[in-house]
Structure formats: C-alpha cells, structure tokens
Amino acid sequence: MKGTVAVTDCGWYEFAARFVSEVDCLTPSDRMRFIAPECSPFFFKLKAPHRATAGFGYFIRQGLPPLLAALA
C-alpha cells in the first residue's frame, strides 16, 4: 500500500495536536498537483532539527476550498 509523507512545521504540528482532530492540507502552488488514493496512509514529518514522524492519518478526499469552489 502506498502512502504520503508531508513535511510540516513543528509549530503548526504542536498547535494542531492540541486543537484539531481533522486536518485540511493545502498546497501553496497550483503547479504542484497532489494525488493520493482514497483511505491511503498519510504521515506528517517534522522539519529539521526534529526530522521525526509526528502524526498519522488517512487521506479521505481532495477538493477545492469553499471560495474557489464558488468561483468555479
């Protein structure tokens, strides 16, 4: 089974770990398309200096943010 490893900031992870049970991952570029199979594993890896796997979940779906969906 294939999965995804997303590199993330330690500060964001510490915030999300306290308040969030569901994560929306946004790509900052329209040139980088993210494709993952539904229900595939999704790991969060911390940037340096930690360089450790910090979280795990399952990819559920991909869609446009509400504002972009309304404009489409």
pLDDT at 40: 92
Q: Provide the number of structural domains found in the chain.
A: 1
Flag residues of the chain having pLDDT under 70.
Answer: 24-32, 64-65, 67-72
Using DSSP, state whether 55 is helix, strand or coil: strand
Torsion of CA 18, 26, 58, 56, to 10 degrees: -40
pTM of the model: 0.66
The domain of 57 spans 4-71
pLDDT at 53: 92
pLDDT at 61: 79
pLDDT at 59: 86
pLDDT at 52: 92
pLDDT at 27: 62
One-letter amino acid at 39 equals C
